[in-house]
Structure 1
Amino acid sequence: MELRRPRLADKEAVLEMMEEFEQTQSAHDGGFWDVENFVYEEWLESNQNHEMGINLPEGWVPDIQLVAFAKDGKAVGFLNLRLRLNDYLLEEGGHIGYSIRPSERGKGYAKESLRQGLQIAKEKNIHRALVTCSTENPASRAVILANGGELEDVRNGTERYG
Protein backbone atom coordinates (compact mmCIF):
# COMPACT_ATOMS: atom_id res chain seq x y z
CA MET A 1 0.00 0.00 0.00
CA GLU A 2 1.21 3.49 -0.85
CA LEU A 3 0.09 6.69 0.89
CA ARG A 4 0.74 9.77 -1.24
CA ARG A 5 -0.64 12.99 -2.62
CA PRO A 6 -3.27 12.34 -5.31
CA ARG A 7 -2.31 13.14 -8.90
CA LEU A 8 -4.23 13.88 -12.08
CA ALA A 9 -3.60 10.31 -13.26
CA ASP A 10 -5.44 9.04 -10.16
CA LYS A 11 -8.69 10.77 -11.11
CA GLU A 12 -10.73 7.67 -11.99
CA ALA A 13 -9.58 5.69 -8.94
CA VAL A 14 -10.19 8.56 -6.51
CA LEU A 15 -13.59 9.45 -7.99
CA GLU A 16 -14.65 5.81 -7.70
CA MET A 17 -13.68 5.82 -4.02
CA MET A 18 -15.47 9.12 -3.36
CA GLU A 19 -18.59 7.70 -5.01
CA GLU A 20 -18.50 4.69 -2.71
CA PHE A 21 -18.24 6.93 0.36
CA GLU A 22 -21.21 8.95 -0.89
CA GLN A 23 -23.37 5.95 -1.87
CA THR A 24 -22.88 4.29 1.50
CA GLN A 25 -23.23 7.61 3.35
CA SER A 26 -20.06 6.69 5.20
CA ALA A 27 -18.00 9.29 7.02
CA HIS A 28 -14.88 10.21 5.08
CA ASP A 29 -12.65 11.63 7.78
CA GLY A 30 -9.38 12.65 6.23
CA GLY A 31 -10.99 13.37 2.87
CA PHE A 32 -12.74 16.65 2.17
CA TRP A 33 -14.74 17.65 -0.89
CA ASP A 34 -17.83 19.59 -1.91
CA VAL A 35 -20.21 16.97 -3.30
CA GLU A 36 -22.41 19.36 -5.28
CA ASN A 37 -19.72 21.34 -7.09
CA PHE A 38 -16.86 18.85 -7.23
CA VAL A 39 -14.26 19.13 -9.99
CA TYR A 40 -11.27 16.81 -9.50
CA GLU A 41 -8.72 19.16 -11.02
CA GLU A 42 -9.89 22.02 -8.79
CA TRP A 43 -9.70 19.69 -5.77
CA LEU A 44 -6.06 18.90 -6.61
CA GLU A 45 -5.28 22.61 -6.87
CA SER A 46 -7.10 23.30 -3.61
CA ASN A 47 -5.07 20.55 -1.92
CA GLN A 48 -1.83 22.18 -3.09
CA ASN A 49 -3.00 25.59 -1.87
CA HIS A 50 -4.05 24.23 1.52
CA GLU A 51 -0.65 22.62 1.98
CA MET A 52 0.95 26.04 1.43
CA GLY A 53 -1.62 27.79 3.65
CA ILE A 54 -3.25 29.60 0.69
CA ASN A 55 -7.03 30.18 0.52
CA LEU A 56 -7.76 28.18 3.64
CA PRO A 57 -11.41 28.00 4.67
CA GLU A 58 -12.27 29.75 7.94
CA GLY A 59 -10.94 27.76 10.89
CA TRP A 60 -8.68 25.49 8.82
CA VAL A 61 -4.92 25.07 9.12
CA PRO A 62 -2.36 24.08 6.47
CA ASP A 63 -2.66 20.38 5.70
CA ILE A 64 -1.48 17.64 3.37
CA GLN A 65 -4.21 15.64 1.63
CA LEU A 66 -3.11 12.07 1.00
CA VAL A 67 -4.75 9.04 -0.58
CA ALA A 68 -3.95 5.40 0.15
CA PHE A 69 -3.57 3.15 -2.89
CA ALA A 70 -3.52 -0.65 -2.89
CA LYS A 71 -0.85 -2.46 -4.88
CA ASP A 72 -3.27 -2.78 -7.82
CA GLY A 73 -3.75 1.02 -7.93
CA LYS A 74 -7.20 1.02 -6.33
CA ALA A 75 -7.79 4.03 -4.07
CA VAL A 76 -8.61 2.59 -0.65
CA GLY A 77 -8.61 5.53 1.75
CA PHE A 78 -7.93 9.11 2.71
CA LEU A 79 -5.54 10.59 5.23
CA ASN A 80 -5.31 14.27 6.05
CA LEU A 81 -2.25 15.52 7.93
CA ARG A 82 -2.73 18.88 9.63
CA LEU A 83 0.59 20.71 9.84
CA ARG A 84 -0.39 22.58 12.99
CA LEU A 85 -3.27 22.57 15.44
CA ASN A 86 -5.86 25.18 16.34
CA ASP A 87 -8.12 25.05 19.40
CA TYR A 88 -10.68 22.78 17.71
CA LEU A 89 -8.07 20.33 16.45
CA LEU A 90 -6.45 20.23 19.90
CA GLU A 91 -9.77 19.09 21.35
CA GLU A 92 -11.23 16.86 18.64
CA GLY A 93 -9.48 16.51 15.28
CA GLY A 94 -5.80 16.11 16.05
CA HIS A 95 -3.02 16.14 13.48
CA ILE A 96 -4.34 13.21 11.45
CA GLY A 97 -7.76 12.22 10.18
CA TYR A 98 -8.23 9.10 8.11
CA SER A 99 -10.87 6.80 6.66
CA ILE A 100 -10.92 3.66 4.56
CA ARG A 101 -13.54 3.09 1.87
CA PRO A 102 -16.27 0.79 3.18
CA SER A 103 -15.53 -2.15 0.84
CA GLU A 104 -11.86 -2.21 1.91
CA ARG A 105 -12.23 -2.07 5.69
CA GLY A 106 -10.80 -4.81 7.86
CA LYS A 107 -7.86 -5.46 5.54
CA GLY A 108 -5.15 -3.55 7.43
CA TYR A 109 -5.24 -0.43 5.26
CA ALA A 110 -6.08 1.90 8.15
CA LYS A 111 -3.20 0.60 10.26
CA GLU A 112 -0.74 0.99 7.38
CA SER A 113 -2.14 4.39 6.37
CA LEU A 114 -1.71 5.73 9.89
CA ARG A 115 1.79 4.23 10.13
CA GLN A 116 2.84 5.99 6.93
CA GLY A 117 1.00 9.18 7.94
CA LEU A 118 2.88 9.30 11.24
CA GLN A 119 6.16 8.89 9.35
CA ILE A 120 5.27 11.84 7.10
CA ALA A 121 4.35 13.84 10.22
CA LYS A 122 7.84 13.19 11.63
CA GLU A 123 9.36 14.35 8.34
CA LYS A 124 7.40 17.59 8.84
CA ASN A 125 8.83 17.98 12.38
CA ILE A 126 5.66 16.80 14.11
CA HIS A 127 7.32 14.40 16.52
CA ARG A 128 4.35 13.80 18.80
CA ALA A 129 1.27 13.72 16.61
CA LEU A 130 -2.15 13.99 18.24
CA VAL A 131 -4.52 11.38 16.82
CA THR A 132 -8.13 11.22 17.99
CA CYS A 133 -11.13 8.95 17.65
CA SER A 134 -14.64 8.72 18.99
CA THR A 135 -15.20 6.64 22.09
CA GLU A 136 -17.76 4.85 19.89
CA ASN A 137 -15.15 3.75 17.31
CA PRO A 138 -13.30 0.66 18.57
CA ALA A 139 -11.81 -0.06 15.12
CA SER A 140 -10.09 3.33 14.99
CA ARG A 141 -8.95 2.94 18.60
CA ALA A 142 -7.32 -0.39 17.67
CA VAL A 143 -5.56 1.22 14.69
CA ILE A 144 -4.19 4.03 16.86
CA LEU A 145 -3.03 1.63 19.59
CA ALA A 146 -1.39 -0.64 16.98
CA ASN A 147 0.64 2.38 15.88
CA GLY A 148 1.90 3.10 19.40
CA GLY A 149 -0.72 5.63 20.43
CA GLU A 150 -0.86 6.36 24.15
CA LEU A 151 -4.16 7.57 25.57
CA GLU A 152 -3.75 11.09 26.94
CA ASP A 153 -7.37 11.69 27.92
CA VAL A 154 -11.00 11.63 26.82
CA ARG A 155 -12.86 14.89 26.15
CA ASN A 156 -16.52 15.09 25.18
CA GLY A 157 -16.57 11.60 23.68
CA THR A 158 -13.22 12.01 21.89
CA GLU A 159 -10.24 9.88 22.83
CA ARG A 160 -6.95 11.75 22.42
CA TYR A 161 -3.75 9.81 21.74
CA GLY A 162 -0.18 11.03 21.55
Structure 2
Amino acid sequence: MEKETPTLHLRRPTLADHDAVLAMFVEFQTSGSAMDGGYYEEGQDFVSWVEQNRDYELGLNLPDGFVPAIQYVSFDEEGQAIGFLHLRLRLNDYLLNQGGHIGYSIRPSQRRKGYAKEQLQQGLQEALSKNIARVLVTCDASNEGSRRTILACGGVLEDRREGVERYWIEVEDAQS
Protein backbone atom coordinates (compact mmCIF):
# COMPACT_ATOMS: atom_id res chain seq x y z
CA MET A 1 0.00 0.00 0.00
CA GLU A 2 1.43 3.36 -1.03
CA LYS A 3 1.96 5.93 1.69
CA GLU A 4 -0.43 8.89 1.43
CA THR A 5 1.22 12.23 0.72
CA PRO A 6 0.60 14.59 3.64
CA THR A 7 -1.21 17.84 2.93
CA LEU A 8 0.97 20.88 3.51
CA HIS A 9 0.55 24.54 2.75
CA LEU A 10 3.87 26.30 2.18
CA ARG A 11 3.61 30.07 2.52
CA ARG A 12 5.20 33.17 3.94
CA PRO A 13 4.42 33.48 7.67
CA THR A 14 2.18 36.34 8.80
CA LEU A 15 1.46 37.96 12.15
CA ALA A 16 -1.60 35.71 12.47
CA ASP A 17 0.76 32.70 12.62
CA HIS A 18 2.36 33.90 15.86
CA ASP A 19 1.26 31.06 18.17
CA ALA A 20 1.76 28.24 15.67
CA VAL A 21 5.24 29.37 14.62
CA LEU A 22 6.41 30.13 18.17
CA ALA A 23 5.28 26.66 19.29
CA MET A 24 7.46 25.22 16.53
CA PHE A 25 10.42 27.43 17.53
CA VAL A 26 10.10 26.18 21.11
CA GLU A 27 10.02 22.55 19.97
CA PHE A 28 13.20 23.00 17.93
CA GLN A 29 14.93 24.72 20.86
CA THR A 30 13.91 22.26 23.57
CA SER A 31 14.86 19.27 21.42
CA GLY A 32 18.23 20.81 20.54
CA SER A 33 17.47 20.16 16.88
CA ALA A 34 18.92 22.29 14.09
CA MET A 35 16.38 24.74 12.68
CA ASP A 36 17.67 24.65 9.11
CA GLY A 37 15.68 26.89 6.84
CA GLY A 38 14.43 29.00 9.71
CA TYR A 39 16.49 32.02 10.63
CA TYR A 40 15.44 33.39 14.01
CA GLU A 41 17.65 35.40 16.35
CA GLU A 42 17.64 34.63 20.07
CA GLY A 43 15.31 37.06 21.84
CA GLN A 44 13.81 38.44 18.63
CA ASP A 45 10.11 39.25 18.82
CA PHE A 46 7.75 37.76 16.27
CA VAL A 47 6.67 41.07 14.70
CA SER A 48 10.26 42.07 13.96
CA TRP A 49 10.92 38.57 12.57
CA VAL A 50 8.02 38.88 10.10
CA GLU A 51 9.19 42.38 9.11
CA GLN A 52 12.78 41.15 8.75
CA ASN A 53 11.61 38.35 6.45
CA ARG A 54 9.87 40.92 4.24
CA ASP A 55 13.00 43.09 4.14
CA TYR A 56 15.31 40.18 3.35
CA GLU A 57 13.06 39.08 0.49
CA LEU A 58 13.38 42.59 -0.97
CA GLY A 59 17.14 42.62 -0.38
CA LEU A 60 16.86 45.32 2.32
CA ASN A 61 18.92 45.47 5.53
CA LEU A 62 20.73 42.24 4.74
CA PRO A 63 23.54 41.30 7.13
CA ASP A 64 26.97 40.81 5.56
CA GLY A 65 27.12 37.54 3.66
CA PHE A 66 23.34 37.22 3.26
CA VAL A 67 21.49 37.21 -0.06
CA PRO A 68 17.85 38.04 -0.80
CA ALA A 69 15.70 35.11 0.32
CA ILE A 70 12.13 34.13 1.05
CA GLN A 71 11.20 32.61 4.40
CA TYR A 72 8.41 30.05 4.21
CA VAL A 73 6.67 28.03 6.88
CA SER A 74 4.65 24.92 6.09
CA PHE A 75 1.36 24.30 7.85
CA ASP A 76 -0.83 21.22 8.06
CA GLU A 77 -4.58 21.29 7.52
CA GLU A 78 -5.21 22.14 11.20
CA GLY A 79 -2.88 25.16 11.04
CA GLN A 80 -0.01 23.58 12.98
CA ALA A 81 3.40 24.83 11.82
CA ILE A 82 5.25 21.78 10.48
CA GLY A 83 8.53 23.14 9.14
CA PHE A 84 10.70 25.88 7.70
CA LEU A 85 11.92 26.40 4.17
CA HIS A 86 14.27 29.20 3.18
CA LEU A 87 14.60 29.92 -0.55
CA ARG A 88 17.70 31.93 -1.38
CA LEU A 89 17.19 33.84 -4.59
CA ARG A 90 20.84 33.70 -5.58
CA LEU A 91 24.04 32.05 -4.39
CA ASN A 92 27.19 33.60 -2.98
CA ASP A 93 30.46 31.67 -2.48
CA TYR A 94 29.41 30.32 0.92
CA LEU A 95 25.98 29.14 -0.31
CA LEU A 96 27.53 27.58 -3.41
CA ASN A 97 29.80 25.48 -1.20
CA GLN A 98 27.71 24.88 1.91
CA GLY A 99 24.12 26.11 1.98
CA GLY A 100 22.51 25.96 -1.46
CA HIS A 101 19.34 27.64 -2.69
CA ILE A 102 17.07 25.87 -0.22
CA GLY A 103 17.43 25.14 3.47
CA TYR A 104 14.63 23.27 5.18
CA SER A 105 13.67 21.39 8.31
CA ILE A 106 10.67 19.66 9.83
CA ARG A 107 9.83 20.07 13.52
CA PRO A 108 11.06 17.05 15.48
CA SER A 109 7.62 15.66 16.41
CA GLN A 110 6.53 15.58 12.76
CA ARG A 111 9.52 13.85 11.17
CA ARG A 112 9.33 10.54 9.31
CA LYS A 113 5.79 11.26 8.08
CA GLY A 114 6.58 12.37 4.52
CA TYR A 115 6.42 16.08 5.27
CA ALA A 116 10.02 16.85 4.27
CA LYS A 117 9.58 15.50 0.75
CA GLU A 118 6.30 17.36 0.25
CA GLN A 119 7.76 20.58 1.66
CA LEU A 120 10.87 20.37 -0.53
CA GLN A 121 8.77 19.64 -3.62
CA GLN A 122 6.69 22.74 -2.94
CA GLY A 123 9.89 24.73 -2.34
CA LEU A 124 11.20 23.60 -5.71
CA GLN A 125 8.03 24.89 -7.35
CA GLU A 126 8.53 28.23 -5.59
CA ALA A 127 12.11 28.30 -6.91
CA LEU A 128 10.86 27.65 -10.43
CA SER A 129 8.32 30.48 -10.04
CA LYS A 130 11.35 32.74 -9.33
CA ASN A 131 13.11 31.49 -12.50
CA ILE A 132 15.48 29.23 -10.61
CA ALA A 133 15.22 26.02 -12.62
CA ARG A 134 18.47 24.44 -11.38
CA VAL A 135 18.42 24.31 -7.59
CA LEU A 136 21.30 23.47 -5.26
CA VAL A 137 20.26 21.66 -2.07
CA THR A 138 22.83 20.51 0.47
CA CYS A 139 22.87 18.30 3.52
CA ASP A 140 25.32 17.17 6.14
CA ALA A 141 26.98 13.94 5.01
CA SER A 142 25.67 12.24 8.18
CA ASN A 143 22.03 13.26 7.63
CA GLU A 144 20.51 10.17 6.01
CA GLY A 145 16.94 11.49 6.21
CA SER A 146 17.76 14.68 4.36
CA ARG A 147 19.77 12.76 1.76
CA ARG A 148 16.80 10.46 1.08
CA THR A 149 14.48 13.47 0.81
CA ILE A 150 16.75 15.26 -1.67
CA LEU A 151 17.19 12.12 -3.79
CA ALA A 152 13.42 11.51 -3.79
CA CYS A 153 12.97 15.04 -5.17
CA GLY A 154 15.37 14.45 -8.06
CA GLY A 155 18.67 15.47 -6.48
CA VAL A 156 21.87 14.45 -8.26
CA LEU A 157 25.01 14.40 -6.12
CA GLU A 158 27.73 16.65 -7.51
CA ASP A 159 30.28 16.26 -4.71
CA ARG A 160 31.09 16.46 -1.00
CA ARG A 161 32.82 19.50 0.48
CA GLU A 162 33.90 19.68 4.11
CA GLY A 163 31.29 17.14 5.22
CA VAL A 164 28.50 18.66 3.12
CA GLU A 165 26.88 16.82 0.22
CA ARG A 166 25.85 19.06 -2.69
CA TYR A 167 22.90 18.00 -4.87
CA TRP A 168 21.53 19.73 -7.96
CA ILE A 169 17.88 19.38 -8.89
CA GLU A 170 16.67 20.27 -12.37
CA VAL A 171 13.21 21.39 -11.28
CA GLU A 172 11.32 20.78 -14.51
CA ASP A 173 12.81 17.27 -14.80
CA ALA A 174 12.07 16.48 -11.16
CA GLN A 175 8.38 17.30 -11.62
CA SER A 176 7.74 14.84 -14.43
TM-score by length of 2: 0.90
C-alpha distance in 1 between matches for 2:92 and 2:81: 29
State yes or no: 1:160 paired with 2:166: yes
Aligned residues: 161
C-alpha distance in 1 between matches for 2:44 and 2:32: 17
Task: Report the counterpart of residue 62 of structure 1 in structure 2.
Answer: 68
SS of equivalent to 2:28? helix
From 61, 71, 79, give the equivalent of 2:85: 79
State yes or no: 1:16 paired with 2:53: no
Please provide the CA RMSD for this pair: 0.6
Identity percentage of aligned residues: 60
From 30, 39, 48, give the equivalent of 2:37: 30
C-alpha distance in 2 between matches for 1:42 and 1:152: 38
Please give the per-residue CA displacement for 1:32-76, whole angstroms capped at 9, x wherever unaligned: 1112x2110100000000000000011000000000101111001
Task: Report the counterpart of residue 96 of structure 1 in structure 2.
Answer: 102
Task: Report the counterpart of residue 138 of structure 1 in structure 2.
Answer: 144
SS of equivalent to 1:54? coil
Task: Report the counterpart of residue 108 of structure 1 in structure 2.
Answer: 114
Please give the per-residue CA displacement for 1:107-131, whole angstroms capped at 9, x wherever unaligned: 1111011000000000001010000
TM-score by length of 1: 0.98
C-alpha distance in 1 between matches for 2:167 and 2:145: 14
Please give the per-residue CA displacement for 1:6-46, whole angstroms capped at 9, x wherever unaligned: 011111000000010111111000001112x2110100000
Task: Report the counterpart of residue 47 of structure 1 in structure 2.
Answer: 53
SS of equivalent to 2:135? coil
Task: Report the counterpart of residue 7 of structure 1 in structure 2.
Answer: 14
C-alpha distance in 2 between matches for 1:77 and 1:128: 23
* Superposition deviation, residue 155 in structure 1: 1.1
* Superposition deviation, residue 154 in structure 1: 1.1
Please give the per-residue CA displacement for 1:119-155, whole angstroms capped at 9, x wherever unaligned: 0000001010000001100100000000011111111
Partner letter of residue 98 of structure 1?
Answer: Y
Partner letter of residue 150 of structure 1?
Answer: V
C-alpha distance in 2 between matches for 1:101 and 1:73: 14
From 120, 124, 128, give the equivalent of 2:130: 124
